[in-house]
Amino acid sequence: MADERLTFKAMCAAFDVTPRTLRYYEYIELLKPDREGRTRFYGARERARMKLILRGRKFGFPLEDIRQWLMMYENEGTSAQMKTWIDMANGQLKELAEQRRQLDEAMQELQDLRDSVAQEISPP
């Protein structure tokens, strides 16, 4: 598969994304497929970028941050990209920890309220 090029439809299927998503990633310059006429082909580079994009989205990174990070490889090289990745990951870990704290707090409040209401309507 290293030398294989995927068509637009095959790329959507391979990564379980909609055509709209794939076109949007191209529009914001996350992906740059080869073109032959109106047909798009995605090689190994684009497939690797897509894996990184989807992983970044899974971790909650904004698309613009992902785009800038991917561009860094081309402009500054692997070392700068990896150092930036560590900083980005540290920031995102803090953000996710805060979201977890807020979610735990909301869940506890909901549990307490539910228990209170259940106790009020329970027969003595």
Domains of the chain: 6-121 (1.10.1660.10)
**CA 86, CA 41: separation in Å to the nearest integer?**
32
pLDDT score, position 2: 52
Rounded to 5°, angle at Cα 30 from 24 and 34:
90
Confidence class of residue 123 from pLDDT cuts 50, 70 and 90? confident
Given a cut of 90, is residue 77 above it in pLDDT? no
- Residue 51: how many other CB atoms lie within 10 Å: 11
What mean pLDDT do residues 20-38 have?
95
Given a cut of 90, is residue 27 above it in pLDDT? yes
Q: Which pair of structure tokens corresponds to residue 51? A: 């894996």
pTM: 0.79
Q: What is the mean pLDDT of the chain?
A: 93
**CA 94, CA 27: separation in Å to the nearest integer?**
30
Percent of the chain with pLDDT over 90: 84
What mean pLDDT do residues 82-108 have?
96
Angle, helices 8-15 vs 19-27, to 10°: value is 110
DSSP letters spanning 21-44: HHHHHHHTTS---EEETTEEEE-H
